[in-house]
Amino acid sequence: MPELQESWVDDPDELALRDSRDTLRALASAGAQVRESITLSQEAGIERIGDGTRPRSVLVAAVGGTKVVGDVLRVLAEAGSPVPVASRSNVPLPGWVGPLDMVIAVSLSGRAPGPLGLAIEAARRGASLLTVGAEDSPLADVTRQARGVHVGVGRGRSSSRTALWSLLTPVLLGAHQLGIADASTDALTEASTALDQKAEECRPSSESFVNPAKLAAATLAPTVPMILGDGALTGVAAVRAAGMLARTARVPASYGSLPDAASEVVACFDGPFTAGGGNGTSAGREADIFADPFLDGPAQPRLGLLMLRDVASENPDSLRQVALADAVKAEADAAGCKIVELVAAQGHPIARLAGHLAMVDYIATYLAIGTGIDPSISPHVADLRDRTRGF
């Protein structure tokens, strides 16, 4: 089973060696990304979005690591949006999209085939366009020709995983302008403060015994992780966590949100990765100090549970969610799972979400570094790109 090496995440020289492209430094810029993107959006004329009229519907076109942009907008719009919000990764553009609708296309490079193709087709049909990506890109050209609004991402943004807030902020500002989500400049400024606070808490110079992200990474390192959000907002963070664990730490993880995923998560407590499941073969061997790894075989990893919890309220629905989350946690503890619980701080929904997104990003990155993986370089992903180049 992998174990997190504390010296690799605490020693500056080891960090520099193992984080070859300064992923941690890029993540620490998240708060600055929000502030820069607010300025860039204003300079691009975000107030012109949709020519001042509310669209019939909004479709977010994003792919890969940027798909979370659509997830965030959907969950923020659910409570009070007067129009539906959908998302799509690739062509064809749904047949119902027309001149009364808006397409928001997001691509860091401005060249991702899916969002670019959807934007081109949206422009052909006369739909309103808001795009976010590199200034000198085909996506920007399409938007300008269609008299839409294109917002650049600033300099030094080389990975969509570490440039999330450069992509997300203009989309949220546009949604606020249209009246489909509460995402004002003040709310985003509050989120930038929350991101700065997480950057300080999880900074590389903060040692493992006090750094919450390093502690969580050490707990999850020897496990098969499951990520569970206690509601819609934290469910978005759970999706992000699974993606970051896979792409950054090379760890496959399942994810879900309450109440739907409760039974799926609890059912796994009867499986081979907990003390009570699989005839007790996994955790039992791990706990046996006399077990011989050559005769008995190496101990299997235990099940890990990363619980992402929102701020509780006196609303009856919220109280039921809290009770359900507490029950799932109690079952996990009884089954011998390793548990990491993250609770959002008080604040605007965007700020609460920002705190969770920052934490899961840091956890995945420290998990990668601490288990000997460069978080920014994947040989297999590079090979896949070579095999599919020209498709």
DSSP state letter for 304: E
Span 57-85, average pLDDT: 93
When pLDDT is cut at 50, 70 and 90, the band that residue 316 belongs to is confident
Please choose, from the candidates 223, 300, 322, 221, the residue with its C-alpha nearest in 3D space to the C-alpha of residue 5.
Answer: 221
Mean pLDDT throughout 117-145?
97
The CB density around residue 1, as the number of other CB atoms within 10 Å, is: 12
Residue tagged 């609708």 (tokens): 101
Q: Name the average pLDDT for the chain.
A: 91
Mean pLDDT of 9-18: 94
Q: 55-179 has which fold?
A: Rossmann fold (3.40.50)
Do 6-18+195-379 and 55-179 show the same overall fold? yes
Strand ranges (DSSP E) for 188-240?
A: 223-229
Q: Where are the domains of the chain?
A: 6-18+195-379, 55-179
What residues contact 7, with CB distance under 8 A and at least 6 apart?
14
Q: How do residues 228-282 score in pLDDT, each as one tens digit?
A: 999 999 999 999 999 999 999 999 999 999 999 999 999 999 888 886 555 444 4
Domain with residues 6-18+195-379, CATH architecture: 3-Layer(aba) Sandwich (3.40)
> What pLDDT, on the 0 to 100 scale, is given for residue 284?
42
DSSP class of 126: T
Q: Rg of the chain over CA atoms, in angstroms?
A: 22
- Residue 79 pLDDT greater than 90, yes or no: no
Please, which pLDDT band fits residue 47 given cuts at 50, 70 and 90? Answer: very high
pLDDT of residue 199: 98
What pLDDT, in 10s, does the model give residues 172-187?
999 999 999 999 999 9
Residue 214 has pLDDT above 80, yes or no: yes
